[in-house]
Amino acid sequence: MPVFTRTTKNLIIKIDEFFDDIDLGLLVFREGIKAYLDKDTDAFNRHLQKVDNLENNADRLQREIENEMITHSILPQHRSEVSTLIDELDEIIDALKSSLNEINIELPEIPSSLNKNLISLTETSINAAEELIPAARAYFKAPYTVREKLLKVYYFESETDKLSLSIKKIIFQETNEIDLAHKAHLRYIIHHIENISDLAQKAADLLSGMAIKIVM
Amino acid sequence: MILFFLTSGLFLGWSLGANDASHIFGSAVGSKMVTFRKAAIIASVFFILGAVIQGSGTSHTLGKLGAVNAIGGSFTLALAAAITIYMMTKFALPISTTQAIVGAIIGWNYFTGNHTDSSTLEKIVISWIAGPIIGAVFAILLYILVKRFKKSTKIHLIRFESYIKTGLIVVGAFGAYSLGANNIANVMGVFVPAFHLKDLNLWIFALNSSQQLFLLGGLAVASGIITYSWKVMETIGNNILELSSEAALVVVLAQSLVLFIFSSTGLSNLIIKTGLPPIPMVPVSSSQVIVGCILGIGLYKGARNINFRILGEIGLAWIISPVASGLLTFFLLFFMKNIFGINVGSKIIESAGASDQASNLAMYGQSDVSGIIKYLLLGLLIFGTIGIVFYALLENKKSREMQRSEEKFWKNMK
């Protein structure tokens, strides 16, 4: 009988560990961007390596969680939604890894006048994703509180959009010392950072529906 | 010949297994918390236990409604009820075996000119109404309790589901036991007055005549569960109201409690001791109770998700089944008596009835049915043990293969 096996306990630990990885990945990404803007290559590479490890671990956990849910017939009614949620969260850490990798490969030249704006954009975008993690944890323990926790995700996502627009405006309308190709490259990097909050919003939409369903 | 006469009862048992017994695990299987295979095995084993240990209480009530005093009559009654149920099951309607058999008994009473005991009939019909209402009340109360527990303890969803899953298995076993105790009278009740078998000594315990009949009926029910109950389980589980896992547990528990209340003589005696009127030992319709339970939860949730069309179809089946079964019994008895010349029973005259019945009983007392049951049990025990060992080995092999494939995958990934 399920109550006498360790499967449940192991699965709960794995899900918690998966959330920890995403949370930690967001933290490391933020530090990675700061290190890049500070031109601290060693710290940037260290953070990139750390995100890479976290992403690999999250992938492994995602696979194990989905396998265990299917083989032990756990959460049959919510399984597909939980799997989709885990997929969405995994996409966030995938985006963190690919963004840092692209910065590492393309080495964009960021004018120092934009440093503050970019840090602010990163902070806000990462905040949106960070607020998603307690909401996702709450889905399993206190689904009644999920929707109130998600409010912050939506707030930070909309702030990220505003910040991104204003930075793009600064780049294309106020920064005359760089050429158009350089501007387009910077826009591309901004898209990458902004994308994290968009992915968080996508997961938040899913989580919101899941919470309603489970509370009903 | 005796075995031939029993076949209609066994067919009825099969129908009960395919239809009524599926209600126990219907919501659990419908909500995918318990696999059909597991549900079928547990339901079969516990139904048989309930029938043999505690099945006599309700069969007395049916006996009072109409004591069928010829084996040909018992055969025809059971056949008519079984055909009615089979036809209804074909349309995936969870109809009631109780109503089919009560309709058949009334049909027999009309045919043989026997008086239908109105007080017993009243008691049975009241229980049909009370059953779903009590079920709905139990379901609402239990549902509130489970919801409050979940909210206050902030238990992890996965842990909670594992408790629910275990609960469904335990409560399902209790439900199957209660159903066996309550509903076996529908299958074998009509044969009890017409059959008298030698006591069957099984070394550690002995089975009397009615218990042997109940055992045979239980085995027939088990075959019905295993071979045909899947379709009805799906109807119960998904069509009336989409059930959450906790609702599935509540539905099975509420239904089991109602069935247990109406079949436990011990509980009835306890109530008498407190000065309250006794609980009637009546075979309650499990179909009606389960619909009552599901409806209770649906009403508590605001009646938004209830599929009223399905409820209407089920309600219609409740009316059709006793009427159809009664009419079919009447016509079948006519053919059996006038065309095949089989004795289907006669009017019971108080003083003469006893001696008539005594001669009937003596006639079947020498039968070797008991011996057949003994070998049947031995065969089941051997096949059951082999089956369990084979299943355990297969599961073990499957999990080892899964583990190996997982290890291989991660090795290749590196």
- Give the pLDDT confidence of A171-189 residue by residue, as tens digits: 888 888 888 988 999 999 9
The pLDDT, as a whole number, for residue B371 is 65
What mean pLDDT comes out for the span B294-310? 75
Confidence of residue A20 (pLDDT cuts 50, 70, 90): very high
With an 8 Å Cβ cutoff, are B154 and A1 in contact?
no
Confidence of residue B395 (pLDDT cuts 50, 70, 90): confident
Q: Assess whether pLDDT exceeds 70 at residue B42.
A: yes
Q: Assess whether pLDDT exceeds 60 at residue B39.
A: yes
Confidence of residue B235 (pLDDT cuts 50, 70, 90): low
Distance CA B74, CA B190 (A): 5
Q: B206 pairs with which residues across the strands?
A: B201
Percent of chain A scoring above 70 in pLDDT: 98
For B258-283, write each residue's pLDDT tens digit.
888 887 777 777 777 877 777 777 77
Domain limits of chain A? 2-215
For A120-159, write each residue's pLDDT tens digit.
999 999 999 999 999 999 999 888 889 889 999 999 999 9
At B407, the amino acid letter reads E
Return the higher-pLDDT residue of B242 and B213.
Answer: B213
The pLDDT, as a whole number, for residue B413 is 65
> Which chain B positions have a beta carbon within 8 Å of A2's beta carbon?
162, 165-166
Residue B411 lies in a domain: no
Query: Taking a C-beta distance cutoff of 8 angstroms, is the pair B111, B344 a contact?
Result: yes
Percent of chain B scoring above 90 in pLDDT: 3
Distance CA B30, CA A129 (A): 36
Confidence of residue B238 (pLDDT cuts 50, 70, 90): low
Residue B153 lies in a domain: no
The pLDDT, as a whole number, for residue A92 is 95
Which residue range is the domain that position B91 belongs to? 2-131+176-238+315-367
Q: Assess whether pLDDT exceeds 90 at residue B350.
A: no
With an 8 Å Cβ cutoff, are B166 and A144 in contact?
no
For B120-161, write each residue's pLDDT tens digit.
888 887 887 788 889 989 999 999 998 888 888 888 888 888
Q: A2-215: which CATH topology?
A: Methane Monooxygenase Hydroxylase; Chain G, domain 1 (1.20.58)
Q: Assess whether pLDDT exceeds 60 at residue B211.
A: yes
> Which chain B positions have a beta carbon within 8 Å of A18's beta carbon?
none
Residue B353 lies in a domain: yes
With an 8 Å Cβ cutoff, are A3 and B162 in contact?
yes
For B97-114, write each residue's pLDDT tens digit.
788 888 888 888 888 888
Query: Taking a C-beta distance cutoff of 8 angstroms, is the pair A199, A188 a contact?
Result: no
Size of interface A-B (CB pairs under 8 A): 56
Model confidence pTM above 0.80: no
Average pLDDT over all residues of chain B: 78
Q: Which of B127, B147, B59, B407 is nearest to B289 (CA)?
A: B127
For A194-211, write each residue's pLDDT tens digit.
999 999 999 999 999 999
C-alpha distance from residue B401 to each of A61, A73, B407 (Å): 20, 18, 10
Distance CA A197, CA A153 (A): 8
Residues 6+ apart with CB under 8 A from A211: A139, A143, A146, A147
Q: Which two tokens stand for residue A202?
A: 């996508």
The pLDDT, as a whole number, for residue A90 is 95
Planar angle of CA B255, B185, B108, nearest 5 degrees: 125
The pLDDT, as a whole number, for residue B241 is 55
The pLDDT, as a whole number, for residue A8 is 85
The pLDDT, as a whole number, for residue B28 is 75
For A70-100, write each residue's pLDDT tens digit.
888 788 888 889 999 999 999 999 999 999 9
Confidence of residue B239 (pLDDT cuts 50, 70, 90): low
Distance CA A89, CA A119 (A): 23
What mean pLDDT comes out for the span B30-49? 84
At A197, the amino acid letter reads S
> Which chain A positions have a beta carbon within 8 Å of B158's beta carbon?
8, 11-12, 15, 74-75, 140
3-state secondary structure of A216: coil
Surface-to-core class of residue B125, CB atoms within 10 Å of its CB (0-12 exposed, 13-18 middle, 19+ buried): middle
Q: Which of B284, B296, B285 is nearest to B243 (CA)?
A: B296
What mean pLDDT comes out for the span A103-125? 91
Chain A residue with minimum CA distance to B157: A140
Q: Assess whether pLDDT exceeds 70 at residue B94.
A: no
The pLDDT, as a whole number, for residue B234 is 67
- Interface membership of A14 toward B (CB under 8 Å): no
Distance CA A67, CA A58 (A): 14
Please give the tally of structural domains in chain B: 1
DSSP designation for A39: T
**CA distance to partner chain B, nearest, from residue A214 (Å):** 8
Residue B168 lies in a domain: no
Residue B283 lies in a domain: no
Average pLDDT over all residues of chain A: 90
Residue B160 lies in a domain: no
Residue B90 lies in a domain: yes
With an 8 Å Cβ cutoff, are B159 and A74 in contact?
no
Question: Which of A71-80, B161-170, B253-262, B307-316 has the lowest average pLDDT?
Answer: B307-316
CB neighbours of residue A53 within 10 Å: 15
Q: Using H for helix, E for strand and C for coil, what is the string for chain B?
A: CHHHHHHHHHHHHHHHHHCCCHHHHHHHHHCCCCCHHHHHHHHHHHHHHHHHHHCHHHHHHHHHHCCCCCHHHHHHHHHHHHHHHHHHHHCCCCCCHHHHHHHHHHHHHHHHCCCCCHHHHHHHHHHHHHHHHHHHHHHHHHHHHHHHHHHHHCCCHHHHHHHHHHHHHHHHHHHHHHHHHHHHHHHHCCCCCCCCCCCEECCCCEECHHHHHHHHHHHHHHHHHHHHCHHHHHHHHHHCCCCCHHHHHHHHHHHHHHHHHCCCHHHHHHHHHCCCCCCCCCCCCHHHHHHHHHHHHHHHCCCCCCCHHHHHHHHHHHHHHHHHHHHHHHHHHHHHHHCCCCCCCCCCCHHHHHHHHHHHHHHHHCCCHHHHHHHHHHHHHHHHHHHHHHHHHHHHHHHHHHHHHHHHHHHHHC
With an 8 Å Cβ cutoff, are B158 and A74 in contact?
yes
Distance CA B88, CA A30 (A): 66
Q: Of the ranges A72-76, B2-6, B56-60, B200-204, which is most confident?
A: A72-76
Percent of chain A scoring above 90 in pLDDT: 69
Question: Which of A165-179, B232-246, B358-372 has the lowest average pLDDT?
Answer: B358-372
Chain B residue with minimum CA distance to A14: B158
For B53-70, write each residue's pLDDT tens digit.
887 777 777 777 777 777
Confidence of residue B10 (pLDDT cuts 50, 70, 90): confident
Number of separate helices (H) and strands (E) present in chain A = 6, 0
The pLDDT, as a whole number, for residue A156 is 95
The pLDDT, as a whole number, for residue B71 is 78
Q: Assess whether pLDDT exceeds 90 at residue A23.
A: yes
For B24-34, write each residue's pLDDT tens digit.
787 777 767 78
Residue B363 lies in a domain: yes
Q: Assess whether pLDDT exceeds 70 at residue B348.
A: no
- Interface membership of A6 toward B (CB under 8 Å): no
Interface test with A, best of B143, B157, B408 (most A CBs within 10 A): B157
